[in-house]
Amino acid sequence: MSGAPGRPLNGRVFITGSADGLGLAAARMLVALGHEVVVHGRSPSRAREALEAARGAGGAHTAVGAVYGDLSSVAEAIDVARQANELGPFSAVIHNAGVYLVSGRGAGDIPTVFAVNTLAPYILTCLIDTPSRLIYTSSGLHRGGDASVSDLLWEQRRWNASSAYADSKLHDVLLAYAVARRWPSIYSNAVDPGWVATRMGGRGAPGTPEEGSRTQVWLSSSPEALVSGRYFYRMHEAQAHPAARDVETQERLLAECARLSGINFPGSRM
């Protein structure tokens, strides 16, 4: 595969974790701009709520569909990809779903924070028919993540929820950069939405969900956002963890995600 990214957009965007917070704000903004949006919730009821909430903001435009699935489960993440493909193809996918200070474990004894924040975006990237643009939601806290990409399941380390979150957000940047390198015809970037007043960020956060999601919307839809392999904060390129550009580190993460999910990362895509 050669040449710069640039497949034409068809204006349909899929957003994970879009029943509230950043994901819902992004959905509403994209709908208002005239894009077709497919939303996601972790259960059928949450997916319906996401669809109605996004539709209510669109005027003449509307969200066009919803999928559901608990992204802490490998099996359900795979099914989310299947549902999404039935409603695609997409011009962009925003990997927005995430959890913060969660200490539980799911199937396979996989920590929920790793399953939702890292493994699910990997699975969806592998299985959703490739869009023109991929956006991975990270955090400024990723700079404190463990760059060794080892002990991903926290079997040797003493559990620390905030450290696990920082690790997962570093993984999201690594995944964005790995995709940009492996699939040069795709625009793949990571975003720090900042500290915003969502259920995760808390009411005391200084930013609004709309402010936090604006970069997601820009990267997923703007003809001016034709870049790849970058990390953005508030629509400006920012400095990511130095390890994010290390190819060996990227490949270790892809290999571990493939092992844990049973899904190999696909080869070159046009």
The DSSP secondary-structure symbol of 116 reads: I
> Which of 253, 250, 254 is CA-nearest to residue 265?
254
Residues listed for the chain: 270
Per-residue pLDDT tens over the stretch 185-215: 999 999 999 766 466 655 666 567 788 899 9
Per-residue pLDDT tens over the stretch 91-128: 999 999 999 988 888 777 899 999 999 999 999 999 99
Per-residue pLDDT tens over the stretch 61-85: 567 899 999 999 999 999 999 999 9
**How is residue 4 written in tokens?**
């710069």
Q: What is the CATH number of domain 12-261?
A: 3.40.50.720
C-alpha distances in angstroms, 208 versus 139, 148, 168, 213, 221? 15, 33, 23, 9, 20
Catalogue the active-site residues.
165, 169
H helix intervals, the chain: 21-32, 44-55, 74-87, 112-114, 120-127, 161-182, 209-221, 247-261
Characterize the bridge pairing of strands 236-237 and 230-233: antiparallel
Within 8 A by CB and 6+ apart from 262, the residues are 74
Under 8 Å between Cβ of 186 and 269: yes
Cis amide bond preceding 131, omega within 30: no
State residue 4's pLDDT score.
37
CA distance 190 to 117: 13
3-state secondary structure (DSSP) of residue 191: strand
CA distance 66 to 218: 22
Q: Is the pLDDT of residue 230 over 80?
A: yes
Task: Place 1 in a pLDDT band, splitting at 50, 70 and 90.
Answer: very low
Q: Is the pLDDT of residue 58 over 60?
A: no
Is the pTM higher than 0.85?
yes
Domain ranges of the chain: 12-261
